[in-house]
Structure 1
Amino acid sequence: MWISGVQLSWVLPQITPQVAEFHADLRVFLHNTFGIADKQVRAIADSIDLRVLLNTASNLLGGVMSIGSGGLFLLLLVIFMGIDANYFPTILAVVKEKRAPVVVALSNLAKLSRSFMIMTTIFGAIVAVLHLILLLALGALGALGALGAIMALLAGGLPTFIAVVAFYGVTNSLIQSLIQPKFVSGSVNLNMTLTFLSAIFWSALLGPLGALMAVPLTLFVRAVLVDAHPQATKGPKTAKPGHG
């Protein structure tokens, strides 16, 4: 986010000529393609001020980057958790003497959560690299930063913008919506239907954070309610012949 914000602040002052050229191209496109009168075309084009949009995005990025206190809190929390991790195996060993299924369930939860994070990171990196290659090939400004589609619009015009948006949609849908769930469901022992429904449920309950953490939250619920109580998954005992 820091690199993206710095790069965006460096690119913004350089895009004024591209904004003016985009307005001119948009007027010609609307007039020649749809036959809209020049006065109406001018009104439509003038109503689209990309500088306002980019300035707003820059302010949002600045607001995100300015919440250093939250980042510091998260960093300290991770450090403290890392320190406590040295004693955690000892605690689990004590608890395991009386509640072995709970310890086994939590250990399995940790293992599956790590698998989920690894798979998510791998597929996220694949999508990011594909997007970066496309933007570099198109000569988009600030390819390493945010708002790649808008930067492509300023660099190559409307056809480039459409190509980038279409490519983003295809790669995200194909890789992250079809291929990734298949591998993730296999790595965490959840079928694809349950993985899909968990994303819908947790996103409705917790919003974007729920969508991001849907699989780990589902694994946690399964560990607490199912894996920690193996006797609940066993079928009813049948009476032996000769007994009442």
Structure 2
Amino acid sequence: MAKPVITLNGLKLVIMLGMLVIILTGIRFAADIIVPFILALFIAVILNPLVQRMERLRLPRVVAITLLISVIVLGMVLLLAYLGTSLNELTRTLPQYRSSLAVPLQQLEPWLQRAGIGVSVEELLKYIDPNAAMSLVTGLLAQLSNAMSAIFLLLLTVVFMLLEVPQLPAKLQPLMSRPAEGMGAIQRAVDSVSRYLVLKTAISIITGLVVWGMLAALGVRFAFIWGLLAFALNYIPNIGSVLAALPPIAQVLVFNGFYDALIVLGGYLLVNLVFGNILEPRVMGRGLGLSTLVVFLSLIFWGWLLGPVGMLLSVPLTIIVKIALEQTEGGRSIALLLSDTGAR
């Protein structure tokens, strides 16, 4: 009986897959250390073009970085103070939700019974516990106060990264076997990620401001919180805008009724249509080179590996992986699978 023969290529593939599993497992277990570093790295990528513009105005790099970080710290202090006040008000309001929720449920009960779904409003209200939501918001407030030290360390890391940028090419070139190609790939990755993050940040800020203004004009309470949520979740591709719309629509449904909730839903659909389907594709173009399926799968993968920050940064992280794969002979076929070439 002939024994199976393991080829050299098959053995290499098994070893590489084993190493990949070990590396991914290590990254997941060390996520508490890796995530702040990755977040600081991407913040530095966003801020570096601003620092370079300030340098063109004859400002020393140290002064430019100091001014920029000072403005960011001041803005964050004001933002966190206002956010803390809004969350405190939300905590005081939560006990009203249980009694207010009875009205829309009673209006919905005949519709459900006509559809053959037997639902008792009294039984449903027994399962609604506002204390759980209050505990969640209280936990958020505690994390907000504890986050100040983490934010300080994060910004300090960003400062050192920005100071190190001019020396990086001279340090990286001796480590590469082909410096010209290697530096070209790094520059291409930095340019792609920087362009994506800067444009995405600008569009997210505008989206958050528009949502805040829209909800404030409609008289929706906690409009600032929902605008901030729309800004943050807009970084998450495909599903971020949907997740950002759910809490304010649910709030309006409970406190204001079905028709007001429909108006808010229409406003969110209009914002997502204008910014997500018209403005963002026109501004960003098709320069990312990733297929739609890969963008969605990368959201799941990086979210599993790095948590919420991985979901926020799933697209730039995948761009970096794709460009890195393009530099190796064996990785080019995988990079081709990640690209949107077949869609053109």
Structure 1 residues 86 and 142, CA, compared in 2 at 3 Å: closer, same or farther?
same
Aligned to 2:196: 116
Aligned to 1:6: 85
CA distance in 1 between counterparts of 2:322 and 2:269 reads: 33
Alignment partner of 1:190 out of 271, 276, 288:
288
Alignment partner of 1:64 out of 143, 152, 159:
143
Structure 1 residues 97 and 141, CA, compared in 2 at 3 Å: closer, same or farther?
same
CA distance in 1 between counterparts of 2:208 and 2:178 reads: 47
CA distance in 1 between counterparts of 2:328 and 2:179 reads: 9
Aligned to 2:312: 212
Give the partner amino acid of 1:6: T
Aligned to 2:260: 160
Count residues with an aligned counterpart: 223
CA distance in 1 between counterparts of 2:143 and 2:88 reads: 14
- Once the two structures are TM-superposed, the CA of residue 115 in structure 1 deviates from its matched residue by 0.7
**Residue 144 in structure 1 maps to residue 224 in structure 2:** yes
Q: What percent of counterpart residues are identical?
A: 20
Structure 1 unmatched runs, 5+: 234-244
- 1:1-244 aligned at under 5 Å gives the runs 2=80, 3-14=82-93, 20-23=99-102, 25-26=103-104, 28-30=106-108, 33=111, 40-49=120-129, 51-52=130-131, 54-65=133-144, 66-91=146-171, 99-146=179-226, 147-153=247-253, 155-165=255-265, 167-168=267-268, 171-172=271-272, 175-176=275-276, 180-181=280-281, 183-186=283-286, 189-191=287-289, 194-207=290-303, 208-226=308-326
Relative contact order, CA 8 A, sep 6+: which one is greater?
Answer: 1
> CA-atom RMSD, angstroms?
3.7
CA distance in 2 between counterparts of 1:165 and 1:57 reads: 25
CA distance in 2 between counterparts of 1:166 and 1:184 reads: 25
Q: Which has the larger radius of gyration?
A: 1
Structure 1 residues 130 and 53, CA, compared in 2 at 3 Å: closer, same or farther?
farther
- Once the two structures are TM-superposed, the CA of residue 121 in structure 1 deviates from its matched residue by 1.4
Relative to the length of structure 2, the TM-score reads 0.52
Q: Determine helix, strand or coil for the equivalent of 1:144.
A: helix
Structure 1 residues 152 and 26, CA, compared in 2 at 3 Å: closer, same or farther?
closer
